[in-house]
Chains A and B, each alone.
Chain A
Amino acid sequence: MDLGEINPVLLVASLMVAATPLLLAAIGELVVEKAGVLNLGVEGMMIVGAISGFAISVETGSPWLGFIAAAIGGAVLSLLFVVLTQVALANQVASGLALTLFGLGFSALMGQSYVGVKPPSMGDIHIPVISDIPVIGPILFQHDPILYVGIALTAAVWATLKYTRVGLILRAVGENHDAAHALGYKVIKIRVMAILFGGACAGLGGAYISLIRVPQWTEGMTAGVGWIALALVVFASWKPWRALLGAYLFGGITVLQLNLQAAGVAIPVEYLAMSPYIITILVLVILSADKSSAPASLGRTFHASH
């Protein structure tokens, strides 16, 4: 075992890469939950995004088109959730599970001919001088563009929720849908938009795994990241910047355990591999005492009677 082989700069840089899929999915789900909807189908939307993005980049040779396709793929799948929960008024927990089960099967079907294929690479940005600064350069300024998209999205969601009227209406719908309806806001329409946004973000997150993080396609490759993203929203108390912090924390744990595996630490591989899941549980336990910031209508079905 040789811990000296772990390079702290590379560790931090790869932590940000590991965190990005989580961050993208969590930010999307955060918006969905702020609108009062609990979509447990994140894992399903991610995996569909992963294969849509992968397939389109391979076919077109353009990772950018791939990411766009991934966002569309995630959003299209979330449309099924829309039909179930907003039109057919089905239970949100069950519908989210349906979405995940369906998404896992569907992606496996779509991905059959893509196993073992190598996707086109996106390439990292390189800004002269700045990217070459030792330590800071590789950590902050030598990543793929989507990683920055994730951070920008966090900032945008934060600002929208806090400062804009759209954000205020979204929060109002999530807080008390009956009151929002009484004031004349279109609860269903706003929720549908939020769910589609969440689906697109999850799709992006999934494609980040298949196109950048890994990069290749294997069945079920999201391996619970979607579920961890759900936990992350709770961890973040529905606050975007805390979601970023949480994503980096989880990213750090994932990268660290991979590094420890590679360095041959005397802990069996399986125990290292299960550590992110166990830590997720621990974090959930620590944070479950405080539920006050959860949107009050979260998970409740809205039906305008009269």
Chain B
Amino acid sequence: MIVLEKRPQPSKAWSYATPLVAVLATMVFGGLLFAILGKNPVEAIGTIFWEPLFGEFAFYYRPQLLVKGAPLVLIAIGLSLGFRAGIWNIGAEGQYIMGAIFGAGAGLAFYPLDAFYIFPIMVIAGAFGGWLWAMIPAFLKVRFGTNEILVSLMLVYVAEQMLASVSLGLLKNPEGFGFPGSRNLQSYDSAHNAELIAGSGMHWGVVTALIAVIFSYVLLNRHMLGFHIRLTGEAPRAAKFAGVNPARLILFCLGLSGALAGLAGMFEVSGPSGVVSIDFNVGYGFTAIIVAFLGRLHPVGILLAGGLMALTYIGGEIAQSQLGLPAAAIQVFQGMLLFFLLAFDLLTNYRIRAARSEVA
């Protein structure tokens, strides 16, 4: 019989190895899934992981990695701080949408004025929109003890309706011949989040994501607030004993993750997407949850995980067009990754041991 035995302390080696093992297991079982779907598993996995980086058209796909990875990393960094403290914001998708609406709204309010201050104002507005949306669950949790998981999630659906409403109404392009959707911000210079170096994929969102990684690293490892965040997650009573104000921590973690998600939405709408439209959001807010866990809630880990997840997005699209792999298969693939990660995480805290049969 196999028994689990709690380690006296978490294993460092396993905490690094788990994500790698999870990725390998996902490749194996993902390959199996692709085989069931009638695709050559080796070819499919190869297409997803190899093609975007080293394939014939890598020069086109590599910048895309930054474009897809940046919002994931930005959102996941925010989420990871809350997750570490046991504060579960799972409504990043909604905050992302609100950031985009606020950011685009602020920019379009100036249309057609050309001025250097418009884009900074949009950045602030985007962060504010996401922050505001996250403050609803934060405030309700602090004031009434309402479950933030459910509230933040419900607000995703509300935000989606808001998005529909503004794309058909408030922000609709007056010159759009009646089609839903806003003016294209890409063709409004003062509001355009253009590539900083043409063809590199590097835009302000990528820069912000990198800054967020560094900020989060310093916060968690060098600052009292980060220590308090970790302490609250590991031992809430000890945190209270140490003098942590739980309410302030909730407001900070939810607020920051909302603002970062809002920024991600704003950079997306003013850059790669360009348009506020009904189907603007593509689930980055949910995928970022996977990224946060895959990165072990560690800033550097999240950076790597964000890259990997972006790879599966792009590789998935290639596999879709070249091999006819269904888009949903990639979604399953990503879900599997989180599943294996959580399962193998056991090895960080427990040893598996064969033992004589025992009533334990």
Expressed in whole angstroms, the Cα–Cα distance for A3 and B153 within the complex equals 32
**Does the CB pair A112–B140 fall under 8 Å?**
no
State which of B60-68, B192-200, B218-226, B331-339 sits at the interface with chain A: B331-339
**Does the CB pair B161–A98 fall under 8 Å?**
no
Q: Write out, one digit per residue, whether chain B residues 136-153 have a CB within 8 A of any chain A CB (1) or not (0).
A: 100010001111011101
Residue of B145, B149, B333, B342 with highest tally of chain A CB at under 10 A: B342
Q: Write out, one digit per residue, whether chain A residues 260-298 have a CB within 8 A of any chain B CB (1) or not (0).
A: 000000001011011001101100110011010000000
Contact among A103, A108, A224 with B153 in the assembled complex (CB-CB below 8 Å): A224
Expressed in whole angstroms, the Cα–Cα distance for A238 and B349 within the complex equals 33
Contact among B153, B328, B342 with A94 in the assembled complex (CB-CB below 8 Å): B342
> How many residues on A have C-beta within 8 angstroms of the other chain's C-beta atoms?
48
Q: A224 with B146: in contact, given A112-B328, A270-B165, A304-B360 (CB under 8 Å)? A: no
Q: Write out, one digit per residue, whether chain B residues 148-160 have a CB within 8 A of any chain A CB (1) or not (0).
A: 0111011111100
User: Is B171 an interface residue, CB under 8 A from the partner?
Assistant: no
Interface residues of A in 50-98 (CB under 8 A from B): 80, 83-84, 88-91, 93-95, 97-98
- Which residues in B have their C-beta under 8 angstroms from that of A7? none
Q: Write out, one digit per residue, whether chain B residues 339-360 have a CB within 8 A of any chain A CB (1) or not (0).
A: 1001111100110000000001
**Does the CB pair A270–B342 fall under 8 Å?**
no
**Does the CB pair B329–A109 fall under 8 Å?**
yes
Contact among B146, B147, B164, B334 with A105 in the assembled complex (CB-CB below 8 Å): B334
- Which residues in B have their C-beta under 8 angstroms from that of A93? 88, 149
**Does the CB pair A108–B150 fall under 8 Å?**
no
Expressed in whole angstroms, the Cα–Cα distance for A285 and B328 within the complex equals 36
Expressed in whole angstroms, the Cα–Cα distance for A288 and B158 within the complex equals 21
User: Is A106 an interface residue, CB under 8 A from the partner?
Assistant: yes
Q: A284 with B293: in contact, given A89-B346, A90-B345 (CB under 8 Å)? A: no
- Which residues in A have their C-beta under 8 angstroms from that of B156? 224
> What distance in Å separates the Cβ of A185 from its nearest Cβ neighbour in chain B?
12
- Which residues in B have their C-beta under 8 angstroms from that of A84? 339, 342-343
Q: How large is the interface on B (under 10, 10 to 19, 20 to 34, 35 or more residues)?
A: 35 or more
Q: Write out, one digit per residue, whether chain B residues 66-77 have a CB within 8 A of any chain A CB (1) or not (0).
A: 000000000000
Q: A281 with B151: in contact, given A88-B342, A274-B158 (CB under 8 Å)? A: yes
Q: A101 with B165: in contact, given A227-B154, A281-B154 (CB under 8 Å)? A: no
For the residues of B in contact with A, the DSSP-based class is helix
Expressed in whole angstroms, the Cα–Cα distance for A83 and B101 within the complex equals 40
- Which residues in B have their C-beta under 8 angstroms from that of A285? 140, 144, 146
User: Is A118 an interface residue, CB under 8 A from the partner?
Assistant: no
Contact among A101, A289, A306 with B290 in the assembled complex (CB-CB below 8 Å): A101
User: Is A234 an interface residue, CB under 8 A from the partner?
Assistant: yes
- Which residues in A have their C-beta under 8 angstroms from that of B293? 94
- Which residues in A have their C-beta under 8 angstroms from that of B150? 227, 230-231, 234, 280-281, 284
Expressed in whole angstroms, the Cα–Cα distance for A130 and B144 within the complex equals 47
Expressed in whole angstroms, the Cα–Cα distance for A281 and B94 within the complex equals 15
- Which residues in B have their C-beta under 8 angstroms from that of A303? 4, 6
- Which residues in B have their C-beta under 8 angstroms from that of A284? 140, 146-147, 150-151
- Which residues in B have their C-beta under 8 angstroms from that of A83? 343
**Does the CB pair B338–A98 fall under 8 Å?**
yes
**Does the CB pair B140–A101 fall under 8 Å?**
no
User: Is B90 an interface residue, CB under 8 A from the partner?
Assistant: yes
Interface residues of B in 148-190 (CB under 8 A from A): 149-151, 153-158, 161-162, 164-165, 168-169
User: Is A31 an interface residue, CB under 8 A from the partner?
Assistant: no
**Does the CB pair B326–A112 fall under 8 Å?**
yes
Chain A positions near chain B (C-beta within 8 angstroms): 40, 80, 83-84, 88-91, 93-95, 97-98, 101-106, 108-109, 112, 219, 223-224, 227-228, 230-231, 234, 268, 270-271, 273-274, 277-278, 280-281, 284-285, 288-289, 291, 303-306
Give the top 5 A-B pairs by smallest Cβ distance, nearest first: A105-B331, A102-B335, A108-B328, A270-B165, A109-B328
20 other A-B residue contacts (CB within 8 Å) besides A90-B342, A101-B335, A231-B150: A89-B350, A91-B342, A93-B149, A94-B338, A97-B289, A98-B339, A101-B334, A102-B339, A109-B37, A109-B331, A224-B156, A227-B153, A270-B161, A270-B164, A274-B157, A274-B158, A278-B154, A284-B146, A284-B151, A303-B6
- Can you list 9 A-B contacts (CB < 8 A)? A40-B149, A95-B342, A101-B335, A103-B335, A231-B150, A277-B154, A280-B150, A285-B146, A306-B360
